[in-house]
Structure 1
Amino acid sequence: MFSNLSYKVQKRIIIVAFLIIPLLLLAVFSYFPALNLFYYSLTKWDGISKTKEFVGLRNYVDLFSKQENFIVFKNSLYYLGGSVIQIGLALYFSSILSYKVRFKSFFKGVLFFPYLLNGVAVSFMFMLFFRPEGTMDSLITAIGLGAYTQKWLGNPGIINFSLVAVSIWRFFGYNFILFSGAIQSVPAEMYEATEIDGANRFQQFWYVTLPFIKRVIELNVILSISGSISAFEVPYIMTGGSNGSMTFVIRTVESAFKWRKYGLASAMGIVLLIIVVLTTLLQKKLFGDNKEVDA
């Protein structure tokens, strides 16, 4: 029966057959939960009772009208600034280590190693590092700057800088390995041609490396923006959001599991999803989607 069908029809049947399971999994684990989350955001629910009171857009009104619910987004700016530093450092070191450098493999391993560590372990490690009279204070005292010791996780003025520094160290290796792989894909002939023309290292980087790894940089930018908005692991474990380190995701988790406001937490989740989608669309608009044309 199947053999009596035309080749075009057989091709379509095979394509559909192979897509059924992936599309079904996508619907069950992505689209359905997203729709369910939106429904919860329109209700007042404590997460336990079987009944959910429909309240319409009240949760969204509360989210934007109550300062304590939305102002935590300002802390995302600290992580966004840290992401810019992180991308710059990763791009710098990946460029340096793309040339012939002694112990290159060792340095690559050292730079990538923090990303292999468990986030919880990293957070507890830096809790000891930043505690009063801990490693940070000991290092500062050892170089004669003991007067500048601080409550690194207790001072609202500097706590976010401390947490961002941990995040930079924690996720630096991810950006570094992406840039390193992208730079290695640049044809060696391009560098040889620029050397013949008398270009220095910076000119090679600006006119050869950057254009070739543009797409990877764009990817890292959008991931960094999304990661800055959804910062959770490090601040939650190290401070629990205290002393002015509350992030939007921590506020969402507390709304759901501490205050039992699942409707409000769902609304916050929807807002976060919309922001990520809009950021992605903005990135596509700014960077464009023009394909490279081979000369």
Structure 2
Amino acid sequence: MTSAQKTRAAQPAAGRRGGSPPESAAGRPPAGRRRRTAALTPWLFLAAPLTLLVMFTYIPVADMIGYSLTDWDGISPTRSYVGGENYTDLVTRPARFEVFLVSGFYLAASFVQIALALYFATVLSFNTRFRNLFKGLLFFPYLINGVAVGFVFLYFFQPDGTLDTLLRLFGVEGEHLWLGDPDLANPSLAGVSVWRFMGLNMVLFLGAIQSIPPHLYEAAALDGANRWQQFRHIIVPGIKPVISLSFILAVSGSLAVFEIPYIMTGGANGTETFVIQTVKLAFQFDKVGLASASAVVLLILIVLITWVQRRLIPEERVELS
């Protein structure tokens, strides 16, 4: 071996013994810095949504709780601390909670809505002609602004209006005060909520149904199972968490109904809900402190009912194979 070859062979060995580190590790940061970067990266992505959540949810809730302990009228630059006086006023006036009876109409309507949404989601999950068209038609009402929905159905429910005209085609004569009769107003408004929100539940159910492995349907068909048996033994167990979530949203939503009855009747003729009552306390009677206490009570009720539902119907991990 020549002297030049010996020199070239000795250079890598010298680098391994104590020279410069290999090229692959030359630009790599220390292990401690990598761990800190890996721990910090998720928080960088969460910074913006967490900031918005704190600014527009938690801080307003904290302010609302603070207002509920005062007698602020919403206008005066000063407000006096009254402690739990607003809550005492609410508790000692049971009439303020009678409006929750109106929520019963919306709760019953939400069960009808869930049943219809589950039916249409099941039908459209199979090979149905024009199913994409029907999906769009059923989901479209949810995309419409609530104010627009209210004004459209104001004309729909007018005496001798669209609904009365349709009923006459089926032999039902006469004019009906759909929004003026206390016996008809709440069922009519609840029907509007079914029409508007059914598409949202249908999309939730449809997404859950499509996540079920297709081979289960094939195996069931080979065993001679019909559509009803596939729905009962495959679809319902497979989407049980989504169904329980829909019931939780139905109960909380029925307690917090606002825009449809507020726009269409303003709470008249026995259609006033707890939220409409709270809004009137704040902006009509200038009792922002009392209205804030009402809002806090509603928040506590919704959280409590949701917790009870989760205890009665615990979340289960569904594994279909």
If the TM-score is normalised by the length of the shorter chain, which range does it land in?
Answer: over 0.9
Q: In structure 2, what is the equivalent of residue 60 of structure 1?
A: 87
State the partner residue of 1:152. 178
Q: Distance in 2 between matches of 1:12 and 1:291?
A: 29
Task: List gaps (5 residues or longer) in structure 1.
Answer: none
Q: Deviations over 1:157-179 (max 9, x none)?
A: 11100000011001111111111
Q: Is it true that 1:262 corresponds to 2:288 in the alignment?
A: yes
Alpha-carbon shift at residue 227 of structure 1 (Å): 1.2
Which residue of structure 2 aligns with residue 231 of structure 1? 257
Amino acid at match of 1:70: F
CA distance in 2: counterparts of 1:133 and 1:204, whole angstroms: 45
2:235 aligned to which of 202, 209, 214: 209
Identity of aligned residues (%): 49
Equivalent position amino acid for 1:105 in 2: N
1-side partners of 2:43 and 2:213: how far apart?
A: 39
Alignment of 1:114-153 (within 5 A): 114-147=141-174, 149-153=175-179
Residues 10 and 244 of structure 1: CA distance in aligned 2, closer, same or farther (over 3 Å): same
Structure 1 SS opposite 2:183: coil
Q: Give the equivalent residue in structure 2 for 1:290.
A: 316
Tell me the residue number matched to 1:194: 220
The 10-residue stretch of structure 1 (16-25 or 102-111) with the greater mean CA deviation from structure 2: 16-25
Output the aligned Cα RMSD: 1.9
Task: Summarize deviations over 1:10-54 as a string: whole Å, max 9, x none.
Answer: 433444555455444333322221111111111111011121121
Alignment-mate amino acid for residue 180 of structure 1: L
Match of 1:167 in 2: 193
TM-score (norm 1): 0.93
Q: CA deviation at 1:105?
A: 2.1
Tell me if 1:38 matches 2:56: no
- Partner Cα distance (2:132, 2:203) in 1: 12
Point out the structure with max Rg over C-alpha.
2
Distance 2:281 2:85 in 1: 15
Structure-2-length-normalised TM-score: 0.85
State how many pairs are aligned: 293
Structure 2 unmatched ranges of 5 or more: 1-28
Is the CA contact 2:212–2:320 (under 8 Å) kept in the aligned structure 1? no
The equivalent of 1:48 in structure 2 is: 75
**Shift of the alpha carbon at 1:266?**
0.3
Match of 2:19 in 1: none
Whole-Å Cα distance in 2 between the matches of residues 121 and 185 of structure 1?
Answer: 34
What SS class does the counterpart of residue 211 from structure 1 fall into? Answer: helix
1:98 maps to 2:125:
yes
**CA shift at 1:256, angstroms?**
0.5
Compared CA separation, residues 117 and 16, structure 1 to 2 (3 A):
closer
Rounded to whole Å, the distance in 2 between the matches of 1:82 and 1:144 is 26
Task: For residue 229 of structure 2, give the secondary structure of its aligned residue in structure 1.
Answer: helix
CA contact (8 A) 2:238 2:318 kept: no
- Structure 1 Cα separation of the partners of residues 112 and 257 of structure 2: 16
| Farther-moved stretch of structure 1 (213-222 vs 135-144) | 135-144
How far, CA to CA, are the matches of 2:118 and 2:267 in structure 1?
A: 31
